[in-house]
Structure 1
């Protein structure tokens, strides 16, 4: 079956979890024998021919084609805030993108189009799919359709229902209409959209994101022999990710343990200044996926201190698949992923609660090991082959 995947970002312009998930799905569909092509965006300044990429780096099976459409999305953060408003208006009604995507779909004639994040690709794309009478499956990754920032901050939840947000969300809801199927990795994210009138007539499916490989190393004896207890954070160094909050909490610990921080971002310099008097807080910069997995095998727990509502963070899936226990804010879809004793939850922005959970992890290796086993058993159900089978059953 010929299948089209559309996402605003794709390699070589990957930034975060959503585009990595889309790439994983593309590889999984190709491996299952489907004819896959991808439509994504690129900066105006970059030139790309329509390219083909190997479906699996380790097991070359076939190739899938990638179409690149020009987008101003890559310049968004460079614009003054007042100009970003006009950018979002142009993005929602991007007629140029509409006709480019429609032309590609006419040429390729896919049986189904699976859309993901469309910010920067244009919110008229669902209209093009409907116009061509192609089956449409849309996967939610965040609240980009509800608020232009895609963020909802803890204790500032009312912003999502402000007049500004409602004015923004109304055309998004109208343009997206009712895809044949809407997939959300979490109940929380689906409910956020349902409560605001999105996808009233669509079939709705809760399907956690896939994991490509189980990389667990559950050698508790090896971890016990290491005198240093390591906590690990991997992600953006931004205030809404809770990194500054985490550093402040960690500085108050007197236990012999380390905090390893991987990633980059606007708040990196501020984070380093905050941690400069604590030799147990170490920054290792941006690292690739393989380095992240290696670090997870050396760590004793992953900490996700987010102060914003996240859907289903990819790094949490990777940690669970690596047999690494997760300590996370009880917020958004992250809570669903580690509930039922598959992880440790703390109240968002509650420093004392976080410190208590860190101490519990430090002092209870056996219990932490049992938590990692429960997380691993849970994540095994989310393998890419199972995910692709669920997708195919929807076609």
Structure 2
């Protein structure tokens, strides 16, 4: 195996920001290190730098924090901190990586791509696309801001209709500006076919995008696996994992439980493992807390969790529910569920529907429709064989080592 010099760039460190993209980038970094490659992890940080320096060390010498920010949230441009590009340039010259693998440009500035190409003309630039921010100004959600309707395809005119304060010309120039930065990328990686097709529709050549799923680390040999045969609970144990916000669909799940008659609802228990509810709009918080009060004894809010705790939490879970109202890309929690032999109930769109095959390794419901989810849950309660059927249909997700080898082959 040829030893490679690799720089991985992410928009946050998973010690601080526990998003799927940050975790995927950091896990890949750790796997490369295990394989003996000369690898550095560079994560953007909003923490104040020590002594005004652009960079600082996080955990060890090859884990660096990049203290910068983006000043233009429309173009993802870094305007007022251009002086940092000189320091970034110095870092790139010192590291001299053969491969620079981006997992985002967000919060650093899309010009980072151009700076890497300018400084390292011979290096290979790879970019893993984790969501739709480049395509969609609505936080990359592909949801129309006022109606919350899913957006089929972006265009300057469609985007202007969502954001009237910006002209179609503004959106055209935004697209050109981002595509100019993307033009220096040698190869893109997409964790799902759905996400790839979105970017192909947007204008990236299909041959430049390789679909490589996010791998999962192997379970510790002592980790407890979910066992559908020796279930100790008489209730159907549901679990929700991830951020709690307006787009993840927790309110849809709670509404589905509220729609049930009391006797049916008593057959379920829902454990919610998630954070950031307190940062959501007041109306959303009020809706969730009101539902939790009405569902006392059925639903339990446990707060945030660490990634290493997932296997133990999933060992006490019959079904994971992923009710997001946006397309998602390739939720890592779905991979984690399958690794632990837990089937998934999910919205019937995007990367979620791609990963979960209805009636094989999980169940679909109509996105954003509590009544549809309620009907699926009632079906689960009535038909005890559904769980065994879906567990039997689970194919283990790719191992992290397989994902690393696929990326290395792309380099």
Aligned-pair distance for 1:143? Answer: 0.6
Q: Distance in 2 between matches of 1:87 and 1:227?
A: 50
Show structure 2 runs of 5+ residues with no match. 161-165
Q: What SS class does the counterpart of residue 222 from structure 1 fall into?
A: coil
Shift of the 122–241 alpha-carbon distance from structure 1 to 2, 3 Å rule, reads: same
Question: Distance in 2 between the 1:156 and 1:355 partners?
Answer: 22
Within 5 Å, which residues of 2 pair with 1:281-360? 281-339=299-357, 341-360=360-379
Alignment partners' CA distance in 2, 1:90 and 1:364: 49
Aligned to 1:59: none
Aligned residue for 1:393? Answer: 409
Deviation at 1:116, TM superposition (A): 0.7
Which residue pairs with 1:157 in the alignment?
151
2:328 touches 2:350 (CA, 8 Å); kept in 1? yes
State TM-score, norm by structure 1. 0.86
The aligned counterpart of 2:163 is: none
1:237 CA displacement: 1.7
| Higher helix proportion | 1
Query: Which of the numbers 235, 240, 251 marks the counterpart of 1:244?
Result: 251
User: Deviations 1:307-327 (Å, cap 9, x if unpaired)?
Assistant: 111001111111111111100
Question: 1:229–1:114: structure 2 CA closer, same or farther, 3 Å change rule?
Answer: same
**Superposition deviation, residue 7 in structure 1:** 0.7
Query: What's the offset of the Cα at 1:71?
Result: 2.3
Q: Give the Å deviation of 1:216.
A: 6.7
Per the TM alignment, residue 100 of structure 1 is displaced from its structure 2 partner at its CA by 3.0
Is 318-327 or 269-278 further displaced after alignment? 269-278
Q: Is the 8 A contact 1:178 1:201 kept in 2?
A: no
- Label 1:259 to 1:201 Cα distance change in 2 as closer, same or farther (>3 A): closer
Tell me which residue corresponds to 2:228. Answer: 220
Which position in structure 1 is the counterpart of 2:202?
A: 196
Q: Which residue of 2 aligns with 1:57?
A: none
Q: Which residue of 2 aligns with 1:278?
A: 295
**Cα shift at 1:217:** 1.8
What's the counterpart of residue 60 of structure 1?
A: none
For the pair 1:173 / 2:183, whether they are aligned, the reply is no
Q: TM-score, normalised by structure 2?
A: 0.83
Q: Among 81, 92, 95, which residue is 2:82 paired with?
A: 95
Q: What secondary structure is seen at the aligned counterpart in 2 of 1:241?
A: coil
Change in CA separation of 1:374 and 1:97 when aligned onto 2, cut-off 3 Å: farther
Deviation by residue 1:325-344 (Cα, 9 ceiling, x = unmatched): 10000111111111272221
Residue among 24, 35, 39 paired with 1:36: 39
**1:391 to 1:206, Cα distance in 2 relative to 1, 3 A:** same
Name 2:63's counterpart in structure 1. 66
Give the drift of 1:146.
Answer: 1.2
CA drift at 1:89: 4.1
Contact 1:304 1:327 in 2 (8 A): yes
Distance 2:180 2:206 in 1: 13
Which of 1, 5, 22 does residue 19 from structure 1 map onto?
22
| Structure 1, 339-348 or 40-49: larger mean CA deviation | 40-49
Partner secondary structure for residue 301 of structure 2: strand
Choose which of 90, 107, 115 in structure 2 pairs with 1:120: 107
1:145 aligns with 2:148: no
Q: Secondary structure at the match of 1:298?
A: coil
Deviations, residues 147-185 of structure 1 (Å, cap 9, x unaligned): 241212262416843135544332111112141111001
